[in-house]
């Protein structure tokens, strides 16, 4: 786990990533809290907190006595939410760095449009 961000958020994000890329299918069972704790070598209470965050927002649901499962429709919902975060996480720093280097928005746009060809 990386420093500086609550581990439970990182656990929640890892599970979200697995759902987004299809590693965890909808209606599939999610690794247990204890499995997550042992695998990532973290405190089980922290792993449980990460899982519960996703239960609270409806990404996962609990089957009594069996475990946690991915909700139907979770993938589309996650994608929508991640798109909203995309601007803040990626576009804003891109613009800040561009301004520092004197790259104006038109030039930046041109770079994005032609990037695949340049490579």
Q: Which residues bind other proteins (CB under 8 A)?
A: 1, 3-8, 34, 37-38, 40-46, 49, 88, 92-93, 96, 100
Q: Shortest Cβ distance from residue 119 to other proteins (Å)? A: 26
Question: Could you tell me the end-to-end alpha-carbon distance of the chain, in angstroms, rounded to an integer?
Answer: 32
Give the residue with the Cβ less far from other proteins, 9 or 76. Answer: 9
Q: Cα–Cα distances in Å, from 101 out to 7, 89, 111?
A: 35, 19, 14
Give the residue with the Cβ less far from other proteins, 3 or 116. Answer: 3
Ramachandran quadrant class, 2 (left: phi over 0; alpha: psi -120 to 50; beta: rest): beta
Q: Shortest Cβ distance from residue 60 to other proteins (Å)? A: 20
Contacts of 95 (CB under 8 A, 6+ apart): 105, 108
Give the residue with the Cβ less far from other proteins, 2 or 117. Answer: 2
């Amino acid at each position: 786990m990386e420093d500086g961000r609550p581990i439970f958020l990182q656990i929640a994000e890892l599970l979200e990533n697995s759902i987004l890329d299809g590693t965890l299918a909808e209606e599939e069972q999610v690794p247990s809290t204890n499995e997550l704790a042992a695998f990532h070598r973290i405190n089980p209470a922290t792993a449980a907190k990460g899982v519960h965050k996703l239960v609270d927002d409806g990404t996962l649901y609990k089957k009594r006595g069996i475990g946690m499962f991915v909700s139907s429709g979770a993938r589309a919902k996650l994608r929508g939410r991640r798109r909203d975060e995309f601007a803040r996480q990626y576009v804003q720093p891109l613009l800040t760095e561009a301004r520092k280097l004197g790259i104006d928005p038109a030039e930046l746009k041109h770079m994005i449009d032609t990037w695949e060809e340049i490579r």
